[in-house]
Structure 1
Amino acid sequence: MTDTSVQKKDERLGRVSLFTKLLRRPEFGALLGAIVIYVMFAVVDTTGQFTTLQGTAGWTDFAAPIGIIAVFVALLMIAGEFDLSSGVMVGTSGLLLGLLVSEFQWGIWPAILFVMVFAGLIGLMNGMLVIKTGLPSFIVTLATFFILKGANLAVTKGFTGTVRVSGIDKADGFDSAREIFATTFNFAGANFQIAVVWWIAITILGTILLNNTVFGNWIFASGGDKNAARNAGVPVDRTKVTLFIMTSLSAALVGIMLVLRLRGMQAGQGVGQEFYYIIAAAVGGTLLTGGAGSAIGASIGAAIMGIAAIGIPYAMWDQDWVSTFLGVILFAAVLVNTLISRKANGARK
């Protein structure tokens, strides 16, 4: 083959338009959906507040806790695994922090450190059980979900006589911890939760980790074909265990934020939220079968959920339909992402 023919072949293979490159981005469909949904609720808004900064503060307040965890849930899903205990872990972390402070008189900061270590151990346990037993992560983490759910209720009632922990605002270090994890800040006259800053920072961190590090390559390889990945020298087991730990730590972070913000925690807090994180990741273009997805997409998915949660009452619609709306969004987003992916993979230019 001559140099000229090689050059022509290379040019043909490399001839891909910018639009096709955009289509191949896993979060592209979610971004289009977010724009459409935002415009829709802006049109049907009856208060005139939805498109204001204060309205933005409202839906980002709802989306931020979901987005923080959804980023790491997405990374775990890209690696081919699920964590159904992430929602209840939010409540477990907040309750544990509250009990250490209110019943054992710990300072806030030592209690936060203990909670994060505890959460890391739960994530390690989930990961090791999945690896060592060969059971689906769906089953392992569902078992963890029920164990923690029961423990949350039983332990809280055992210590407090109720299903709630309170009084943590009297502990040493409460004000400084609340300033970092649960305060508000004013931006152009609107009050945003500090969780929004954490959400943005974690999304950036997740994106860099996934797209610009060797560990990110391991995540994609582990979810794509784990046997081929192992043959190529990828530490698949270690990668997955690490992601289980990171997911559990992110849930603990949100639990700490909530208990400091609310100055207490209910035993049932976080139960059911694990599906919100999975929906956010799936809406954002993360494949349920693993091997593809993005941190940005998961955050866009969380934003869509926040827009819907705030947009529906602003439109004076029946709020009982929120879950139905989210179910429709999930189905539509996965369908659109699939169609876009097929079109992009089949496009020549």
Structure 2
Amino acid sequence: MAGTIAEVAAADERVARVGLLRRLLVKPELGSLVGALIIFVFFSSLSDVFRSLPGVANWLDPASTLGIMAVAVALLMIGGHFDLSAGVQIGTAGITTGLLTTYYGLNTWMALLASLALVLAIGLANGYLVVRTGLPSFIVTLGTFLMLQGLNLGVTKIVTNTVQVNNFDQVAGYPILHAIMASTINVGGTEFQIAIVWWIVATIAGSYLLLRTRFGNWIFAVGGEKNASTNVGVPVMRTTVTLFMITSLAAWFVGNTQIVRLTSIQAQAGFGQELIFIVAAVIGGCLLTGGYGSAVGASLGALIFGMTSQGIVYAGWDADWFKFFLGAMLLLAVLANQFVGRFAQSRR
């Protein structure tokens, strides 16, 4: 009898013993965690400033807003889709809030709600078109990207006669917005941007959503196999549309954080950032084919981005090397993900 039970356990992965190595290797965030540690040690050896408290504050700053977007983009990628309009939506959100308040005198909070409604409608349209037409999300959101890019620039020029919206610090309620979105927290005499706190909140929320809710199960199911998900009753359309709207929500927050912090926003804000979001998610362990990844891994990918961008400066290198490092990390991440996938399959 004992032999029979052992044979069944060996044949059924649900009851078989799983070794520590395998459990670690199948964690999506493992590679990005190792990469982050290597990057930290590498640049710390080149610059004392990099590992100092002010240095940490400097490289956590760019990582924070990128991390908020990377978490949302990672959820969408796990669900099997991309949003190439995510970066431009940042500009759309900030420009809408800025124009409605500084040029049309709308109440600040109403302007924020209006810009939120606009970007959520964009996310809804993206998700609906992807599901209903069956077109790749790459194509649908590329079209949205181009339209929003032209709209942001055209409307800004018509209203302001320039390519930016200024004087946002003059609107009513600005001090409250600044406290929420752009204030700093003093730690050991060093000022850290509050966006870092929102980044942590976004990472925790994204992880909880993925790993502790029914909707998280739907995300993995839809990204893994859409047809099978439909057959077992997963609401594919609702899940996909919601994921696109979550990405738009993150873009709204980051876009308004930018205009609050800088008191102005360029018509080209967010342009080109969509690929950086995807790179951070892939470095964090998300597969390009969907169905695999984590919010924590995406945040670690953003952390690697922040450390590399500032570490190169502290090391005294030419900033052009940043793109080289980013490309190398992307390639290594894809190869590592491929290895992990094959390893997990071979052990089943």
TM range (shorter): over 0.9
**% of aligned pairs identical?**
50
1:69-94 CA distance string (max 9 Å, x none): 11111111111111000000111111
CA distance in 2, matches of 1:189, 1:344: 47
Q: Which of 24, 44, 48 is matched with 1:42 structurally?
A: 44
1:170-214 CA distance string (max 9 Å, x none): 111110011001111111222111110000000000000001110
1:138-169 CA distance string (max 9 Å, x none): 01101110101001111001011000101111
Instruction: Give 5+ residue unaligned stretches, structure 1.
Output: none
Name 1:6's counterpart in structure 2: 5
Match of 1:319, SS?
Answer: coil
Match of 1:172, SS?
Answer: coil
Name 1:28's counterpart in structure 2: 30
CA distance in 1, matches of 2:69, 2:9: 42
CA distance in 2, matches of 1:298, 1:42: 23
What's the CA shift for 1:107?
A: 2.5
**Partner AA of 1:303 in structure 2:** L
Match of 1:186, SS?
Answer: strand
**Partner AA of 1:128 in structure 2:** Y
> Given that residues 92 and 152 in structure 1 are in contact (C-alpha distance below 8 angstroms), is that contact kept between their aligned partners in structure 2?
yes
Superposition pairs of residues 106-117 of structure 1, within 5 angstroms: 106-117=106-117
> Given that residues 286 and 293 in structure 2 are in contact (C-alpha distance below 8 angstroms), is that contact kept between their aligned partners in structure 1?
yes
Superposition pairs of residues 154-169 of structure 1, within 5 angstroms: 154-169=154-169
Q: 1:193 to 1:334 in 2, by over 3 A?
A: same
**Partner AA of 1:127 in structure 2:** G
What's the CA shift for 1:294?
A: 0.5
What's the CA shift for 1:250?
A: 0.4
Name 2:311's counterpart in structure 1: 311
CA distance in 2, matches of 1:111, 1:56: 34
> Given that residues 287 and 337 in structure 2 are in contact (C-alpha distance below 8 angstroms), is that contact kept between their aligned partners in structure 1?
no
Superposition pairs of residues 194-343 of structure 1, within 5 angstroms: 194-343=194-343
CA distance in 1, matches of 2:291, 2:256: 31
**Partner AA of 2:9 in structure 1:** D
> Given that residues 29 and 340 in structure 1 are in contact (C-alpha distance below 8 angstroms), is that contact kept between their aligned partners in structure 2?
no
> Given that residues 106 and 171 in structure 1 are in contact (C-alpha distance below 8 angstroms), is that contact kept between their aligned partners in structure 2?
no
**Partner AA of 1:244 in structure 2:** F
**Partner AA of 1:339 in structure 2:** F
CA distance in 1, matches of 2:80, 2:108: 36
What's the CA shift for 1:343?
A: 3.0
Worse overlay, 201-210 or 36-45 = 36-45
1:250-285 CA distance string (max 9 Å, x none): 011000000000001011111000001000000111
What's the CA shift for 1:43?
A: 1.1
> Given that residues 183 and 194 in structure 1 are in contact (C-alpha distance below 8 angstroms), is that contact kept between their aligned partners in structure 2?
yes
What's the CA shift for 1:342?
A: 2.7
> Given that residues 109 and 177 in structure 1 are in contact (C-alpha distance below 8 angstroms), is that contact kept between their aligned partners in structure 2?
no
**Partner AA of 1:198 in structure 2:** W
TM-score, normalized by length of structure 2? Answer: 0.96
What's the CA shift for 1:109?
A: 1.6
Worse overlay, 75-84 or 318-327 = 318-327
What's the CA shift for 1:103?
A: 0.5
1:277-321 CA distance string (max 9 Å, x none): 000000111000001010001001000000100000000000022
> Given that residues 33 and 333 in structure 1 are in contact (C-alpha distance below 8 angstroms), is that contact kept between their aligned partners in structure 2?
no
CA distance in 1, matches of 2:99, 2:75: 31
Worse overlay, 100-109 or 222-231 = 100-109
CA distance in 2, matches of 1:305, 1:23: 22
Q: 1:302 to 1:345 in 2, by over 3 A?
A: same
1:233-266 CA distance string (max 9 Å, x none): 0001110000001101101100000000000101
> Given that residues 78 and 220 in structure 2 are in contact (C-alpha distance below 8 angstroms), is that contact kept between their aligned partners in structure 1?
yes
Q: 1:17 to 1:139 in 2, by over 3 A?
A: same
Aligned length: 345
- Large movers: runs of 4+ above 4 Å: none
Name 1:19's counterpart in structure 2: 21
Superposition CA RMSD, Å: 1.4
TM-score, normalized by length of structure 1? Answer: 0.96
